[in-house]
Amino acid sequence: MLRSPQSTAGTHPRNGALGRADGPLIAPRVTNRLRVGDVRAMTHSAQLARWPEPRITDARVRVERVHLSIGSVDAVHGVGVRQSFPPHTHETLAIGVIERGADRIRYRRQEFIAAAGTVIAIPAGELHTGEALDHRGRSYRMLYPDVALMRAATIDASRAHDSVAIPNPVLHDGELARVLTAVHRALVDRACSLAMEERLLRALRLLVERHTVDPLAEPVDVRRSRAIVLLGLEYLHAHFADQVRLAELANVCGVSPFYFIRLFRRGVGVAPHAYLKQLRVNRARAMLLCGSSVAAASFACGFSDQAHLTRTFKSMLGVAPGAYRRAVHAARWIE
């Protein structure tokens, strides 16, 4: 549904960046090595073409990037968001609470409804969608912990696909919902303290202990297929700005091009080229969040020119990159 971590492209903006409800207004962590979740099939890439374009609504979304002693976390507060999010992934764990309304999520070939009071938890790398259940939209509080914070919670980010596998993204856990809500409010109010940091780590541990499964319990052939897909994903993340060729990908993974596409579609839910396009937009968004110009982001992220980035960015997020850059650096709610 939303997104975040740290970016190495430039310096961090000040806490309190705000954005509009054209999509999750947080940048992904920029890294040359993939940190993905337990990637599995969810939808055929043809669904991307049928999914409606994001629409600008009159909802409000507030984004706070907070730096703690144990890491950084992005806190997103959405109020009355009617935005529909097409199939996408996050590069960090996304966890939060639905406060009002309801969200329809498509995840691993299934549909889930997150009603008010439920927790949403989506691992990094898991393809999913998000849309309001009705015209009234939904309000939510979401958190996106960075790698350092995940490690502080004893979740090894280098093996995130082994340690954070969540079969059901909608959790009916009242205690976890209460802890997350309290932590989120403290973060956006800048009431950061030792007790708040302890509660945040407790929330992450509750998630892992109660709602994750061990991927090693799966059949050997499933784990082998996932390993091939992860190799391909790592290559794409390391070479997202280059002209990636299918033969290169297949050779890195040790399989034929046809078989690689088949495994990739099954494991990620979209074809490699569609994933690469989204990855480039994610990287550009990270740079914009850190103050880079649209021209610099387009050049660094593999787009042919600024117009190419603008068209792609707007088709995915519903807002032009220039408008996005201005919104996330404005210290106010955007209606």
195-249 pLDDT per residue, tens: 889 999 999 989 988 998 766 555 667 778 888 988 998 999 999 999 999 999 9
* Predicted local distance difference test score (pLDDT) of residue 268: 81
Q: Which residue has the higher pLDDT, 104 or 127?
A: 104
User: Are the C-beta atoms of 153 and 170 separated by less than 8 Å?
Assistant: no
Separation between Cα atoms, residue 229 and residue 241, nearest integer Å? 19
* Token pair of 85 as six digits: 């999010």
* Predicted local distance difference test score (pLDDT) of residue 34: 35
* Token pair of 165 as six digits: 């596998």
Query: In this prediction, what percent of the chain has a pLDDT beyond 90?
Result: 35
Above 50 in pLDDT, residue 308? yes
Separation between Cα atoms, residue 315 and residue 130, nearest integer Å? 16
pLDDT digits (tens, 9 = 90+) for 44-56: 333 333 333 334 3
Above 50 in pLDDT, residue 165? yes
* Predicted local distance difference test score (pLDDT) of residue 214: 66
* Token pair of 147 as six digits: 């790698």
Per-domain residue ranges of the chain: 18-215, 220-328
* Predicted local distance difference test score (pLDDT) of residue 326: 80
Separation between Cα atoms, residue 304 and residue 35, nearest integer Å? 27
Q: Which residue has the higher pLDDT, 130 or 83?
A: 130
Q: Is 154 buried (19+), middle (13-18) or exposed (0-12) by CB count in 10 A?
A: exposed
Phi and psi (nearest 5°) for 43? -155, 155
For domain 18-215, the CATH architecture is Sandwich (2.60)
* Token pair of 238 as six digits: 């390391």
Dihedral angle, C-alpha 314, 131, 12, 189, nearest 10 °: 140
Q: Which residue has the higher pLDDT, 31 or 108?
A: 108
Question: Which residue is associated with the tokens 């730096």?
Answer: 67
One-letter amino acid identity for 143?
L
Q: What is the mean pLDDT of the chain?
A: 77
> What is the full DSSP assignment across 139-164?
EEEEEEE-HHHHHHTT--GGGHHHH-
* Predicted local distance difference test score (pLDDT) of residue 40: 34
| Helix then strand then coil, % of the chain, to nearest 5 | 40, 20, 40
Quick check: do 18-215 and 220-328 share a fold? no
Residues in the chain: 335
CB-side neighbour CA atoms (13 Å) of 288: 32
Average pLDDT over residues 101-116: 92
* Predicted local distance difference test score (pLDDT) of residue 35: 36
Residues 6+ apart with CB under 8 A from 40: 108, 126, 226, 267
Q: Model confidence at 122, in pLDDT bands (50, 70, 90)? A: very high
Average pLDDT over residues 142-155: 82
Q: Model confidence at 104, in pLDDT bands (50, 70, 90)? A: very high
CATH number of 220-328: 1.10.10.60
* Predicted local distance difference test score (pLDDT) of residue 105: 94
Q: Which residue has the higher pLDDT, 36 or 262?
A: 262
Separation between Cα atoms, residue 128 and residue 107, nearest integer Å? 5
- SS3 for 307? helix
Window from 35-44, 54-63, 241-250 with minimum mean pLDDT: 35-44
Above 80 in pLDDT, residue 313? yes
Window from 102-106, 113-117, 205-209, 293-297 with minimum mean pLDDT: 205-209
Window from 32-41, 82-91, 299-308 with minimum mean pLDDT: 32-41
Above 60 in pLDDT, residue 17? no
Q: Which residue has the higher pLDDT, 186 or 16?
A: 186
